[in-house]
Amino acid sequence: MEIRVEELSADAGVSVDTIRYYQSKGLLDPPRREGRVAWYNPDHLARIARVRSLQERGFTLATIARLLNGDLDAADEALVETLAGEMNGETGTGIAPLSPSETSEPELFTLSELAEQTGVPLVLLKALEAEELLIPRRVGSVERYTQQDVESTGAALLLLEWGLPLSELLDLSRRHHSATVVVARSAVEMFSTHIRGKLREHPFAGVDGVGPDGSDDENATQLVEAFTALLPAVTTLVEHHFTRTLLKAAFDHIEQVGSDVEREAVWEQVNQTVSPAETVSS
């Protein structure tokens, strides 16, 4: 049975403009035309439902288009959903500990609300967001911030309160971001080549040693398992290395320019913050 766009809009629960927008993005096949009248069929209705379902799961329209066109398979779909869950703080792989306010349903803020929560001017937050120094979570089709973003912004304010110049702090943040992007993309390429690529060629056995059946569902499960196991490990490794590198730079600087009192104070602080097995002596 064929219907006109107004009926499709009502049945799908989306506006006519949304239907036309989906068509412009290649998410919806063109209708059959009879003169100036456009006719839609049940396949169009099913496709709209599929697109909306994927959007609600955190997929971007660009990713949805690739899934619908067959550029991404079931395993990729499962991985993308896991990634979207990480961005939304829903998967619980332990990448970042949740604050008490986020152990249940996290409170979400728009950028304006984040400005109100932190006292940071909205224009500054917009600038940070534009430079990707402030990265929101994607919740459905919108982007929001959480209590962890409030706390992170508060940490930045603490640096300013101690006298670090805003311009120099922003410049340092930009350089850190640029370097981090390069490393992160390299890490993703490694995962794609050595985990995702090899999984497609030779599916590996799971942690129980049972060989996979080679199905799309099994491949998807293994790909997500690999991601959820490796991401927290990589995060811990990077965080540990950066902390140690920062401390070493501070120690080297104090050794060169600090007084005896300053050096003694630094070493005392270190011995108080590291574990007993890691305690150092001057």
Tokens of 255: 């050794």
Nearest-angstrom CA–CA distance, 253 and 247: 10
CATH number of the domain within which 50 lies: 1.10.1660.10
Assess if residue 38 is contained within a domain: yes
Confidence (pLDDT) at 112: 94
Assess if residue 46 is contained within a domain: yes
Assess if residue 65 is contained within a domain: yes
**pLDDT tens-digit map of 208-249:** 444 445 566 777 888 888 888 888 899 899 999 998 888 888
**52: containing domain:** 5-72
**pLDDT tens-digit map of 11-62:** 999 999 999 999 998 899 999 999 989 999 999 999 999 999 888 877 888 8
Q: pTM for the full model?
A: 0.62
Assess if residue 251 is contained within a domain: no
- Total number of domains in the chain: 1
Assess if residue 21 is contained within a domain: yes
Using the 8-state DSSP alphabet, how is residue 194 labeled?
I
- Alpha-carbon 270 to chain mean position: 33
Instruction: Say if residue 8's pLDDT is above 90.
Output: yes
More confident residue, 213 or 200: 200
Assess if residue 119 is contained within a domain: no
Tell me phi and psi for residue 109, to 5 degrees: -130, 145
More confident residue, 166 or 105: 166
Confidence (pLDDT) at 189: 92
